[in-house]
Amino acid sequence: MAKITIQRTGELLRKLFDILLDHPEGMRAQDALNSLRSSVQLTDYEKGEYASGGGSRFEKIVRFATIDLVKAGWMIKDKGRWIVTEEGKRAYHEYKSPEQFYRTAQKLYWEWRRSQPKRSSKVGEEVGEKRAAITFEEAEEQAWREIEEYLREMPPYEFQKMVAGLLKVMGYLSCFLGCASWA
């Protein structure tokens, strides 16, 4: 028996959309998850961790389910930011029932999946692919967080030299006199 239902997953996703809709420019995924965690009452199961060292059940459940939202065209994940699309806003307002909201996203995911070349429709393979996508997504988010932190902590003149060097390599500084002294 599943420990999390379609209804419950739909409730979490609709609440996530409530949060994201208040941020039209999107939110960092971890901030959105933290906001969601603090705005819902987690079940004992959701509060738990996966035994295999896989991390927070709650976070994995939500991340796993958002793959359906992305493939449905309702949400964009870009460089660790989650953004609701116009299509996602329409779906949010059209499908008031959490179960209907999530089932529709799942249906659209499967339509997308069937349209992909050389894809198996076996559930076990789909789960493995989604897990790999989540792992990649978490790694990408971590990388962007570390880059942002590094740039924030960088002394201003070092940042200036780095940008000048980048512009020089890209050929943008060749028209300016004296810019080569920055790098």
Q: Which has more confidence, 44 or 132?
A: 44
Residue 133 lies in a domain: no
Q: What is the dihedral of CA 23, 72, 135, 3, to 10 degrees?
A: 100
Whether the pLDDT of residue 90 is over 80: the answer is: yes
Tokens of 169: 């390599």
Question: Measured over all CA atoms, what is the biggest interatomic distance in the chain, rounded to whole angstroms?
Answer: 70
**30: confidence class by pLDDT, cuts 50, 70, 90:** very high
Q: Is 53 left (phi over 0), alpha (psi -120 to 50) or beta?
A: left
The answer to whether residues 98 and 11 touch, using CB atoms and an 8 Å cutoff, is yes
113 vs 145 pLDDT, higher one: 113
CA distance 14 to 91: 10
Is pLDDT of 1 > 50?
Answer: no
pLDDT higher than 90, residue 102:
yes
Instruction: Tell me if 149 is assigned to some domain.
Output: no
Which has more pLDDT, 26 or 54? 26
Q: What is the mean pLDDT of residues 25-43?
A: 95
Of 16-25, 88-97, 117-126, 138-147, which range is least confident? Answer: 117-126
Residue 132 domain flag: no
CB 46 within 8 A of CB 4: yes
Angle, alpha carbons 150-152-157 (nearest 5°): 95
Instruction: Give domain status of residue 93, yes or no.
Output: yes
Residue recorded with tokens 């790098």: 183
pLDDT at 86: 97
In a domain, 150, yes or no: no
Alpha-carbon span 94 to 101, nearest angstrom = 8
For residue 104, what are the domain limits?
Answer: 6-119
3-state SS class at 24? coil
pLDDT of residue 123: 54
Determine whether 27 is exposed, middle or buried from the number of CB atoms within 10 Å of its CB (0-12, 13-18, 19+). buried
What is the share, in percent, of the chain residues with pLDDT greater than 70? Answer: 79
Task: Find the range with the poorest average confidence among 141-145, 153-157, 177-181.
Answer: 177-181
Q: Is residue 165 part of a domain?
A: no
- What pLDDT was estimated at residue 94? 97
Average pLDDT of the chain is 84
Residue 179 lies in a domain: no
Q: How many domains does the chain have?
A: 1
Reported as a single tens digit per residue, the pLDDT across 107-142 is 999 998 888 877 555 555 555 566 666 676 767 777
Q: Which two tokens stand for residue 32?
A: 């959105």
Kindly report the length of the chain: 183
Q: What is the pTM of this model?
A: 0.68
Which pLDDT belongs to residue 117? 77
Burial grade of 20 (CB within 10 A; 0-12, 13-18, 19 or more): buried
Q: Are 95 and 114 in contact (CB under 8 A)?
A: no
Residue 145 inside a domain? The answer is: no
